[in-house]
Amino acid sequence: MVMKRGKKGAWYIYFRPFKTEKIGLRVDVKTKSDAEQIEGVLLRACRTWHFSGLDEVVREAAIRLFQNQGWELPEVLNTQPQQLESPKKALTLWQAAQLFIKSPEIANCQERVSYEAAFTHLVQYFKKDACIKDLWIPEIKGYIVHRINEGAAPATVNREKGTLSKMFKTLLEHRLVETNPVRMIPNLSQKSGERQVYLSLSDVQRIVQACPVWYQRLIWASYYSGMRRGELLSMTRKHLDLSKRIITLTPENTKEAHWKRIPIHKELLQVLEDAMRVSYLGSDKVFLLQDRKGIRPIGVEATKNPWERACLSLGLAKPRPRFHDLRHTWRSNARRSGVSDQIAEMILGHALRGKRVDERYGYVSDEELVAAIDKMTFENGTTQILVASARQR
């Protein structure tokens, strides 16, 4: 649409250059037909992203369009930097992280908790206002060295690096960057950090007693079910059927992105009932944080501190147990209690393992799962923590 406005009768065009909201732009011409011609040429240039070959009048209008809207100038329009200055700020790490976290495929996935935890460290190192275009191979390698020097395990650093790579992939899809520098950096070897762990019931009880009550429930839930921390944090009341003693997780709540059923051990039943007595308006999560500040949903970072503080207060020597070792311990307890491999693997779930034939064609009932969990015992040995890098506890 073209119309004349103002006391001097300047011509304005109103159009949707990128199929967004309608935008108004003044054009320096004397007739309506000239304004309509500029509108057509400019619309075609924006829709095709082809700005070369524009005459001076249309070129000047295109430059003002991008400057008025705070958009970054296309390179072909920015050939005279001393005269042209884009008012748009460069994309920052924080903005890019938010774009990634809120993207449709990430917003509701179970791995979002892990991604948010990774960005906590990335932002702490690079800072929120770090320009994405300044994050290149030397800077990313510097981050990797920094995290290793902090004591982070190679697997942890690889996960954080992978999160950064996935973020760049999202930016590529939005045409906000031209390449993904993270893909040019190989992963760290994880062999030195490989662990074989079994935690005795008595040691788990000692750690539990050194933790706040809200965190004790998370420990026992993982210990008696083998569930991942992220699965526990995302679990809602609708996932529980206490009468049947079954937890049913949807693909959005599991790392392997499949439906998963977990039987509820009798010891876990009381833990879940206690957890569900605590409620928070606007959330139906089973596990909530409860301290002197009140009741609220649990952030992934909040779950790390109590475990680490408990291990330190107990004077546990390195290598210390980790929360994820509860999952390894459950698998050992299942084997030592005579639970079949098929049922144990069904309950645990592994994202990188393909399904066996009997899993594809054989159905395991809820009753079979509950019967299997009821035969499990949890006093099956002493604590052992073996790490490939050498030391043994």
Residue 237's CATH number: 1.10.443.10
Q: Would 86 be classed as within a structural domain?
A: no
Residues 180 and 230 placed together within one structural domain of the fold: no
**Distance of alpha carbon 371 from alpha carbon 180, whole angstroms:** 50
Residue type, 29: V
- The predicted pLDDT at position 371 comes to 95
- Report whether pLDDT(84) > 90: no
- Of the residues 139, 158, 193, which one is the last residue of a structural domain? 193
| Ranges 27-31, 136-140, 278-282, 288-292: which has the least confidence | 27-31
Q: Edge-to-edge strands of the sheet including 10-15?
A: 2-5, 10-15, 23-27
**Distance of alpha carbon 387 from alpha carbon 353, whole angstroms:** 23
Residues 366 and 219 placed together within one structural domain of the fold: yes
- The predicted pLDDT at position 264 comes to 96
Residues 346 and 368 placed together within one structural domain of the fold: yes
Mean local confidence (pLDDT), 297-307:
81
- The predicted pLDDT at position 47 comes to 81
Virtual CA dihedral for 228, 232, 237, 243, nearest 10 degrees?
Answer: 50
Q: Tokens at residue 162, please?
A: 């992978």
Q: Would 373 be classed as within a structural domain?
A: yes
Task: Give this prediction's pTM.
Answer: 0.60
pLDDT tens track for 322-373: 999 999 999 999 999 999 998 999 998 865 455 554 555 568 899 999 999 9
Residues 345 and 246 placed together within one structural domain of the fold: yes
Structural domain count of the chain? 3
Q: Edge-to-edge strands of the sheet including 260-263?
A: 240-241, 246-249, 260-263
Q: Would 83 be classed as within a structural domain?
A: no
- The predicted pLDDT at position 314 comes to 95
Query: What string of H, E and C letters represents the secondary structure of the chain?
Result: CEEEECCCCEEEEEECCCCCCCEEEEECCCCHHHHHHHHHHHHHHHHHCCCCCCCHHHHHHHHHHHHHHCCCCCHHHCCCCCCCCCCCCCCEHHHHHHHHHCCHHHHCCCCHHHHHHHHHHHHHHHCCCCEHHHCCHHHHHHHHHHHHHHCCCHHHHHHHHHHHHHHHHHHHHCCCCCCCHHHHCCCCCCHHHCEEEECCHHHHHHHHHCCCHHHHHHHHHHHHHCCCHHHHHHCEHHHEECCCCEEEECHHHCCCCCCEEEECCHHHHHHHHHHCCCCECCECECCEEEECCEEEECCHHHHHHHHHHHHHHCCCCCCCCCCCHHHHHHHHHHHHCCCCHHHHHHHHCCCCCCCCHHHHHCCCCHHHHHHHHHCCCCCCCCCEEEECCCCEC
- The predicted pLDDT at position 393 comes to 38
- Report whether pLDDT(299) > 80: no
**Distance of alpha carbon 282 from alpha carbon 188, whole angstroms:** 41
- Report whether pLDDT(68) > 80: yes
**Distance of alpha carbon 43 from alpha carbon 291, whole angstroms:** 58
- The predicted pLDDT at position 354 comes to 53
Mean local confidence (pLDDT), 224-250:
94
Q: Would 87 be classed as within a structural domain?
A: no
- Whole domain around residue 36: which residue ranges? 2-77
If one compares 359 and 297, the residue with the highest pLDDT of the two is 297
- Of the residues 193, 209, 224, which one is the last residue of a structural domain? 193
| Ranges 109-118, 127-136, 320-329: which has the least confidence | 109-118
Closest CA to 345 of 262, 249, 234: 262
Average pLDDT score over the chain: 86
Residues 54 and 108 placed together within one structural domain of the fold: no
Residues 374 and 225 placed together within one structural domain of the fold: yes
- Report whether pLDDT(379) > 80: yes
**Distance of alpha carbon 263 from alpha carbon 369, whole angstroms:** 6
Q: Would 321 be classed as within a structural domain?
A: yes
% of the chain with per-residue pLDDT over 70: 90
Closest CA to 268 of 310, 232, 305: 232
CATH of the domain at 105: 1.10.150.130
| Ranges 103-112, 166-175, 365-374: which has the least confidence | 103-112
- Of the residues 137, 168, 193, which one is the last residue of a structural domain? 193
Residues 35 and 97 placed together within one structural domain of the fold: no
| Ranges 39-53, 111-125, 143-157: which has the least confidence | 39-53
- The predicted pLDDT at position 52 comes to 79
